[in-house]
Amino acid sequence: MTEIILALDVMKKDKAVSIVQKAAPYIDKVKIGYPLVLAEGLGIAEILSEYKKPLIADFKVADIPNTTRLIAEEVFSRGFSAIICHGFVGHDSVRACVETAHENMGECYVVTEMSHPGAVDFFHGGVAERIAELVCEAGADGIIAPATRPERTAVLRSLIGNKKILSPGVGAQGGDPDAIAGIVDGIIVGRAIYESSDPAAAARQYSCFRTGI
Ligand code: BMP
């Protein structure tokens, strides 16, 4: 089964609640990041907890271990079930994020390669592969890898075994869910759902990937 993860990058609490309410039957988790949290505060997590969807904190933490730990502790104290950090910061920072997540019964996902065109400037040439190795050494729960480059995500899959892969880039960024669903554990979809005039119908279109049918 491939989970559908709603990337809730809207700027207003009411819109966020309305989208989650409509899409709820067709999604498995909700990913929240800087746009919504900077606009409405971290308290949005408690408001959305009513919909019983695990919340992923996408702060792409990229800092020294101590600061990483402080950020992660705050995230988990607010009811998030997972946090995303960057991998390029190195083993001690990633380990701090993983440890804090696990101490709080949460998960840590590490950005290994990004989905946008410019990601190739630095992630290609062996960096993503090294981050994938670090993910295994640090005991992280999984990685973020691009739906826009399924062939790259397949390479990363071969390096991380059965750790989870959450994959953004489907829909607005042009990633084809048919091409990526079979090699990842979750597809992250934002604008294709929350910018739709009918978010429920838009989310429902991805349901076939949840059931594998
Ligand atoms: P959209 O489907 O609207 O393109 O949104 C994708 C979401 O995934 C956004 O929240 C974005 O920040 C995030 N994301 C991404 O697109 N590519 C990455 O490599 C990593 C991400 O977290």
The response to whether residue 82 sits with its C-beta less than 6 Å from ligand 1 reads no
Ligand 1 centre to CA of 47 (Å) is 22
pTM for the whole structure: 0.98
The CATH fold assigned to 3-209 is: TIM Barrel (3.20.20)
Tens of pLDDT, residue by residue over 114-129, are 999 999 999 999 999 9
The rounded distance, in Å, linking the Cα atoms of 163 and 184 is 10
The rounded distance, in Å, linking the Cα atoms of 102 and 81 is 10
Report whether pLDDT(211) > 90: no
DSSP result, 121-136: HHHTTTHHHHHHHHHH
Ligand 1 centre to CA of 169 (Å) is 6
For ligand 1, mutation pick of 188, 191, 205, 206 (most atoms within 8 Å of CB): 188
Q: What is the pLDDT of residue 213?
A: 57
What distance, in Å, lies between the first and last C-alpha atoms of the chain? 9
**Across residues 22-40, what is the average pLDDT?**
98
Listed by start position, the domains of the chain span 3-209
The ipTM estimated for the assembled molecules is: 0.99
H helix intervals, the chain: 13-23, 34-40, 44-48, 65-77, 91-103, 120-123, 127-138, 150-160, 177-180, 191-194, 199-204, 207-211
Ligand 1 centre to CA of 175 (Å) is 11
**Across residues 72-90, what is the average pLDDT?**
98
**Across residues 13-26, what is the average pLDDT?**
98
The response to whether residue 177 sits with its C-beta less than 6 Å from ligand 1 reads no
For CA atoms 66, 142, 210, 146, the dihedral sign is positive
